[in-house]
Structure 1
Amino acid sequence: MSRFVVNIARGAAAPVLAAGVSVLCNEDHIPSVELHWAHHGMLSAYDAKSVRRGFQVYKEVCSTCHSVNRLAFRNLVEYGAWSEAEVKAMAEEVDVVDGPNDEGEMFERPGKLSDYMPGPYANDEAARAANNGALPPDLSLIVKARHGGSDYIFSLLNGYSEGFAPAGKVLLPGLYYNPYFAGGAIGMPPPLMDEAVEYPDGTPATISQMAKDVAVFLAWAAEPEHDERKKAGFRWILALSIAALVAGFTKRFKWAPLKARKISYHF
């Protein structure tokens, strides 16, 4: 992504206006920047390496507050960016409450591939108590639940202005200024900082890189069937196109003698 796009995403309204870019905004926040993600193409798939890096960012940074309770461990295996052994090891690190057993009691067991990923809190009340009354949203469908989708996630994560709020914007204690969040005041502190994680593939873990990767991961989490859906759609379009050609060819030569015949009446 170009430096210009990243600067706009991290800057707020001032750099946008200084650059002479016309944006549509309401009275309390500015819209996210459209970044034209690679997987938005008609036949384009997710970047598997970016999805894997994004899951690492979620696991090491975001999972302390947010859940992805609609995502099961088996989904990681089905996608193919992780081996079955890797995912089994991750699942076994989690203790899952199951039961009842033969004695009618609940018990804990290691996680399995069929289990859904556990959240950081037992319930919403515990989540609110740990976050000054704010409820961290589940991120399973956050890309579909927010206008702008991946653009919104990327802009939000890069949009913190390091404690600076424009003149006239009063922030209550415990809130942070982010021009991409509705109202401009968000309860989540800046979650990312440079080198917050260490990517095994050597990719520099800058804020913009981590924001991009976790946005791609959350887009995949919201629609794990994305790649298969596009491939299936291409196969259906190809099959129907061939069927249409065969039908047209058959119609032309089946009915051509009848359409081209000349009827003469002799009296």
Structure 2
Amino acid sequence: MSKLISARLIAILVGLGFVVVVLSAFVSGAYTVATEGMGEETAEHEFHKHPNDYPFAFEGPFGRWDVAQLQRGLTVYEQVCSACHSLKYVAFRNLEGLGYNEAQIKAYAASQTVPGIDPRTGEQTTRPGLPTDYFPSPYPNAVAAAAANNNAIPPDLSLITKARHDGVNYVASLLSGYQEVPAELQREFPDFTVPPGLHYNPYFPNLNLAMAPPLTATGQVTYDDGTEATIPQMAQDVAAFLAWTAEPTLVQRKQTGWPVLLFLVFATVLAYMSKKQIWAAVKPKKRD
């Protein structure tokens, strides 16, 4: 009996220990949230901007891909972003989702240079791409990438809109948000400076971004559909394209979700009616 009581006491103490740990973590987190921003004001806190809210066609429960916009975004990526950023999780054959046919995909893949192996010597070489190949990296390794970009390695863009809060709006805002340091910021924070090699962008958390402005002028790229390639237009187009690379089945998932929800509603109603039918003849007993 004494062993049973001891085991129960130990279990109770362990449970109380877990409760104390959880409560302390909750209180600590709540205190951090409540006191965040109550200290000394900084330029980063005062002048950092939240992303703009752009009207992308794929958002919302009935969203659809704007295929023309996705194709324009691919053009921006190919002609601007691919010089520094990779898309290592996207294969050329995946471009079928952008409305390209097999011949177009083969031609596009063949226009790209990908790493290969010389069958005669076994040495590393390059070759024209195949539809099964993935978008190549612009750098052979991370060291080369850092050396070419002021010691900052450009991130892979395959999942970038999933890796950032409000990702698609963040990407579009960041790309079109480069500007001179506001005079108001200089007045309020005279010690604030943009270090050499960095660029002021209010949509970046610490305001100073290593990436130089990639979109610099209207007409920087030429769209096949004749759309004017302004900086905001290019920024939104490539952001939409990167939303597709991060989740190419987004629209299909939404389209599947509605029938599933309707089925669940129907099944719920059917189950309720079945319950009423089965138990209709059963009368509750009266209490004395």
Length-normalised TM-score, structure 2: 0.73
Residue of structure 2 equivalent to 1:31: 50
In 2, are the aligned partners of 1:28 and 1:183 still within 8 Å (CA)? Answer: no
RMSD over aligned CA atoms reads 2.6
Question: What are the ranges of 5 or more consecutive residues in structure 1 without an aligned counterpart?
Answer: 1-24
Residue of structure 2 equivalent to 1:114: 132
Matches of 2:282 and 2:120, distance apart in 1: 78
Residue of structure 2 equivalent to 1:6: none
Residue of structure 2 equivalent to 1:216: 240
Q: Please say if 1:178 is aligned against 2:201.
A: yes
One-letter amino acid matched to 1:55: L
Residue of structure 2 equivalent to 1:205: 229
Residue of structure 2 equivalent to 1:146: 164
Q: Please say if 1:191 is aligned against 2:214.
A: yes
Aligned length, in residue pairs = 237
Residue of structure 2 equivalent to 1:91: 109
In 1, are the aligned partners of 2:174 and 2:203 still within 8 Å (CA)? Answer: yes
Larger CA deviation: 218-227 vs 88-97: 88-97
In 2, are the aligned partners of 1:143 and 1:219 still within 8 Å (CA)? Answer: yes
The percentage of counterpart residues that share the same residue type is: 46
Residue of structure 1 equivalent to 2:282: 259
Length-normalised TM-score, structure 1: 0.79
Deviations 1:72-122 (A, max 9, x none): 112211x14222211111112234334585986656543222221111111
Tell me: CA distance 1:236–1:188, structure 2 relative to 1, closer, same or farther (3 Å): same
The structure with more radius of gyration? 2
Matches of 2:243 and 2:223, distance apart in 1: 20
In 1, are the aligned partners of 2:105 and 2:131 still within 8 Å (CA)? Answer: yes
Identify the match of residue 127 of structure 1 among 128, 145, 162. Answer: 145
Matches of 1:112 and 1:118, distance apart in 2: 11
* Displacement after TM superposition at 1:125 (Å): 0.7
Tell me: CA distance 1:97–1:231, structure 2 relative to 1, closer, same or farther (3 Å): same
Deviations 1:4-62 (A, max 9, x none): xxxxxxxxxxxxxxxxxxxxx72562222233533221121222211111111011111
